[in-house]
């Protein structure tokens, strides 16, 4: 067996929503406006795009400053938290409010992504904003904090349910320094352990930022078996 064949092949998933194709904005926030300051199609020397958008649009993260007065900004978020091992769990389609003990958190897990019925909404990325999405209750948020979670990601535009009268879920998570990643497209990803890369812009003074989110692994069962088969070899 050649070296290339023996090496476990990992799968890479880009779980970022495309920006600029009509993904719904949060009610009350504007859709992004994308214009051209210069355009080669119009005879200019080069093409330069201007982007005008709210920072909580599409796939993005929330920094503490979003709900904590005087809280940290996006530029101050720890790269150590934004990249590293993460656990992806699947929430049953019947569940629309994720409370404590809704699933098993693996020992030592600090980065957690939840795949819910929300992901199916991205079959039509330009759908009208869906208010009845699945998200965490305040008690569920406190459970994550108590379990040592430092980053939590969800597959719709908020970690908190739309109709909650108080932003308690956000305050609990961001108040504890947990990074909330919102607007993930997890349709193609199965539950398991992955390596997360979640990189926002280095926006000074900003409470949120769009980010590119990529998951690596796990190897497929067949590839895992193959790795075991070759583990004895030098
Ligand atoms: Zn947000």
Helix ranges restricted to H, the chain? 3-6, 79-82, 138-146, 168-175, 221-230
| Overall domain count for the chain | 1
Please tell me the number of Cα atoms within 13 Å of 179 on its side-chain side.
28
Judged by average pLDDT, the poorest of 8-22, 108-122, 195-209 is 8-22
- Ligand 1 centroid to Cα of residue 129, in Å, is 14
> Residue 226 has which token pair?
């193959």
User: Which of the residues 60, 66, 130, 170 is marked catalytic?
Assistant: 66
Average pLDDT of every residue of the chain? 92
Fill in the DSSP letter of residue 220: P
- Ligand 1 centroid to Cα of residue 70, in Å, is 17
Give the global pTM.
0.90
- Rounded distance, CA 111 to CA 207, Å? 20
Cis peptide bond upstream of 13, omega within 30: no
Domain assignment present for 32: no
| Domain CATH number, residue 168 | 3.50.30.50
- Rounded distance, CA 201 to CA 77, Å? 11
Judged by average pLDDT, the poorest of 3-7, 73-77, 89-93, 134-138 is 3-7
Q: Does 112 have pLDDT greater than 90?
A: yes
Domain assignment present for 31: no
In sequence order, the 6+-apart residues with CB closer than 8 A to the CB of 232 are none
Q: Which residues pair with 182 in a beta bridge?
A: 60
Domain assignment present for 155: yes
- Rounded distance, CA 232 to CA 229, Å? 7
Domain assignment present for 35: no
Q: Does 204 have pLDDT greater than 60?
A: yes
Domain assignment present for 177: yes
Domain assignment present for 151: yes
Domain assignment present for 92: yes
Domain assignment present for 37: no
Backbone angles phi, psi at 204, to 5 degrees: -75, 130
pLDDT for the residue 150: 98
Fill in the DSSP letter of residue 229: H
Query: What residues make up the domain containing 209?
Result: 3-24+54-230
Q: Is 195 a catalytic residue?
A: no
Tens of pLDDT, residue by residue over 162-202, are: 999 999 999 999 999 999 999 999 999 999 999 999 999 99
pLDDT for the residue 20: 87
Average pLDDT value for residue range 6-35? 90
- Rounded distance, CA 11 to CA 31, Å? 33
Fill in the DSSP letter of residue 6: H
């Amino acid at each position: 067996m050649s070296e290339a064949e023996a090496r476990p092949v990992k799968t890479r998933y880009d779980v970022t929503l495309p920006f600029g194709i009509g993904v719904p904005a949060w009610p009350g926030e504007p859709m992004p406006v994308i214009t051209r300051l210069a355009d080669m199609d119009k005879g200019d020397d080069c093409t330069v795009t201007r982007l005008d958008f709210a920072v909580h649009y599409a796939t993005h993260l929330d920094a503490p400053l979003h709900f904590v007065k005087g809280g940290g900004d996006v530029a101050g978020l720890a790269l150590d938290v934004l990249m590293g091992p993460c656990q992806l769990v699947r929430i049953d389609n019947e569940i629309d409010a994720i409370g404590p003990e809704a699933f098993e958190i693996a020992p030592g897990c600090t980065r957690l992504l939840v795949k819910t019925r929300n992901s199916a909404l991205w079959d039509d990325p330009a759908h009208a904003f869906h208010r009845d999405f699945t998200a965490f209750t305040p008690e569920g948020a406190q459970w994550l904090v108590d379990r040592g979670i430092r980053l939590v990601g969800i597959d719709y535009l908020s970690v908190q349910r739309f109709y909650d009268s108080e932003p308690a879920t956000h305050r609990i998570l961001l108040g504890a320094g947990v990074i909330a990643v919102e607007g993930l497209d997890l349709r193609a990803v199965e539950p398991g352990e992955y390596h997360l890369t979640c990189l926002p812009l280095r926006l000074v003074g900003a409470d949120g930022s769009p980010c590119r989110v990529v998951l690596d692994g796990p190897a497929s069962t067949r590839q895992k078996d193959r790795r075991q088969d070759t583990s004895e070899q030098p």
